[in-house]
Structure 1
Amino acid sequence: MSRIDRASRVIAVPPPAVYGALLDRAALEAWLPPEGMRGRIDRWDPRPGGGFRMVLTYLDPVGDPGKTSDGTDVVEVGFAELVPQESVVQTAVFEADDPSYAGTMTMTWRLEAVDGGTEVTVTATGVPPGIDQAAHEVGIASSLANLAAYLTTSSPGARRKPWPRR
């Protein structure tokens, strides 16, 4: 069976707010980098077939040497599928000389309206073998926590309730 890395979290905002944060350049730069990293988007084209290039920098590169260079991971992300308020499917390719980080990883962000907000489930398939599964799942969970914090403190409609469930 092929490897699947996954994390999920309920975020106290409606699906349109979450979906918007998945397709907003400034928002992604703020919440996508997991704990211990910061991110910068160099190229941005938010449409199916478009994508972005993100440079992730380790705040303390001593213990985390980076995939692209000491202290950095550079990833080319493509938008494979966008279904408003429901899902975003991305392809991700790391810039790395080490073949254990080669290949195209697929990240699927599914949004489901639930009591109290939106359940966001992230599923990664085709994960390069050089990426430790436990560490990757912790990183995804960290990004989801950042997303929750970003949306519940910055979204103008974040506290509006109730919103429709599906």
Structure 2
Amino acid sequence: MYTTRVSGRVDAPCAVVYRALVSAEAIARWRVPDGMTCEVHEFEAREGGGFRVSLTCEAPDAVGKSAARTDTYHGRFARLVPDREVVEVLEFETDDPALGGTMTLTRTLTDDGTGGTDVVVLHEGVPDAVPAAGIETGTRAALEKLARFVESDIFSPSPTDQGHGRARDRRP
């Protein structure tokens, strides 16, 4: 098992970014990799609340961790600090012991002093069978999608939230 850390910047306030991290509708839009679809089966954003999500590859020859083209994972919210941190404990639904075990996904949000948010994404306990490069590439892409999502007119959490912008890669 290993750990990855990816960080970036989103030109939106922490409150807006946080709401995109704890909304099932938002997750289904920005946390899905390109070339995949997302189905949120369960999502109860509270400490101890559960979630279950499936990501399905559009390519007919793709190999999934849970089914032919699908990765399904489930877990719980271990810690929620409004506008600051989201900690999820999750695991793949798989019969493959090399992909088993729980992982911890921590997203930490920090006000950058200019109205934007520095986001640090830490994956801990990732099975060795999951390529680190894939996790890191996917996380950077997710940060970009998160930024596009929160800056769009599609995601308007409240009339007082005015932040807009893009994620910028910050490699450790």
Where does residue 26 of structure 1 map in the other structure? 25
Where does residue 68 of structure 1 map in the other structure? 66
Where does residue 82 of structure 2 map in the other structure? 84
Question: 1:52 offset after TM fit, Å?
Answer: 0.8
CA deviations 1:6-50 (Å, max 9, x no partner) are 211100100000000111110000001122222111112111001
Taking the aligned partners of 1:119 and 1:100, their CA distance within structure 2 comes to 33
Which amino acid in structure 2 is aligned with residue 78 of structure 1? R
Q: TM-score, normalised by structure 2?
A: 0.87
CA deviations 1:100-122 (Å, max 9, x no partner) are 11000000000011035001110
Runs of 4+ off more than 3 Å: none
Where does residue 57 of structure 1 map in the other structure? 56
Matches within 5 A, 1:1-166: 3-62=2-61, 64-114=62-112, 115-154=114-153, 155-156=155-156, 157-159=161-163
Taking the aligned partners of 1:119 and 1:27, their CA distance within structure 2 comes to 19
Identical amino acids, percent of aligned pairs: 36
> Alignment partner of 2:25: what SS?
helix
> Alignment partner of 2:126: what SS?
coil
Structure 2, unpaired ranges of 5+: 165-172
Taking the aligned partners of 1:158 and 1:130, their CA distance within structure 2 comes to 41
> Alignment partner of 2:40: what SS?
strand
| Structure 1 contact 44–52 (Cα < 8 Å) conserved | yes
Which amino acid in structure 1 is aligned with residue 12 of structure 2? V
Supply the RMSD in Å over aligned alpha carbons.
1.5
CA 1:14–1:37: 2 relative to 1, 3 Å? same
